[in-house]
Amino acid sequence: MSLLLATDFAPDTLSAWAEQLRTALPGVPVLTERNPTTDGDVTMALVANPPAGALSGLPRLGFIQSMWAGVDKLLRDDTLPAEVPLARMVDPAMSAAMAETALWAVLSLHRDYFRYAEQQRAGVWQQLPQRRADDVHVAVLGLGEMGRAVALRLAGNGYFVSGWSRRQRVMVGVDTCYGDAALADLLRTADVVINLLPLTVRTHSLFDERRFSQMKRGAGFVNLARGQHVVEAALLAALDNGRIGRAVLDVFHTEPLPPNHRFWVHPQVTLLPHAAALTDLTSATAIAVANLNAFREGRPVSHLVDRTRGY
């Protein structure tokens, strides 16, 4: 029984993960590459952006643990063994980091800190109107682990928060709604829209010309989920015509973002290099090991992916 690490990590990062796992899983060989002499012993895999085919042809593979919360890229890999259970990473440390990024983005939009930064560069001394937090309506789309953490952090800081999901969810302190009709109504009233939806067939290109036209004029748009949720040309058009006041973007169709992309230079775009919530080595290792041990001992594993739903 051995564990295969299948990632696109740089050698030093891969080495750090392997060292942590060997310490946490004494007696379990931790492999960082395929070898015909050891492939027959691999029963578990820990993956992060594995190359296509990295897990094919492993006759005893019984469990795959992802290091990332999102598994859309994994599910698009036709070589991923369809019969092997797959679990996604649900790490409170990542959820807390995501909530911090969302709070920074909302505070910066609410208190006009992005505009003050522009004024500084232009040498302009001018106070802007100041709103109360409870006058700012924030819509959080997607109420999974991260979405709930974000909604609760914002509500705890005094914002009027509404959460939207495909299916009905109930949260204390946060108004919730669900379904397509409710989404259109929510977009018309929200001052800031935060996307934390999983990427599925239904949510791919969700934010297109029609959706942006439904949003409150001048609203802020914060995408912390996946670049493929957004039709980039439609977002740029909405920014150019003032429908969207500012976009804060952490994810993109192509990463790294190409150097000639308009997002780099658009005056109403603030971008991050997919850094809103990075995987924490220590906490993620502990969570992965707990799931791996559950599999080894024949106990139920946590956060299994429903491949028909895409998350």
State the amino acid at position 208 in one-letter form.
D
C-alpha 244/C-alpha 238 separation (Å) is 5
Write the CB contacts of 100 (distance below 8 Å, at least 6 apart in sequence): 153
H or E element at residue 160: strand 160-165
Which position among 110, 226, 229, 246 bears the catalytic label? 226
For residues 195 and 142, the answer to whether their CB atoms sit within 8 Å is yes
C-alpha 25/C-alpha 293 separation (Å) is 8
Q: Interior CA angle at 228 toward 97 and 94, to 5°? A: 15
For residues 90 and 287, the answer to whether their CB atoms sit within 8 Å is yes
261 is catalytic: no
State the amino acid at position 79 in one-letter form.
T
Which position among 34, 266, 274, 307 bears the catalytic label? 274
274 is catalytic: yes
C-alpha 63/C-alpha 80 separation (Å) is 12
Closest CA to 110 of 187, 194, 235, 209: 194
C-alpha 297/C-alpha 140 separation (Å) is 38
Strands 192-195 and 269-271: unpaired
Q: Indicate which residues carry an active-site annotation.
A: 226, 274
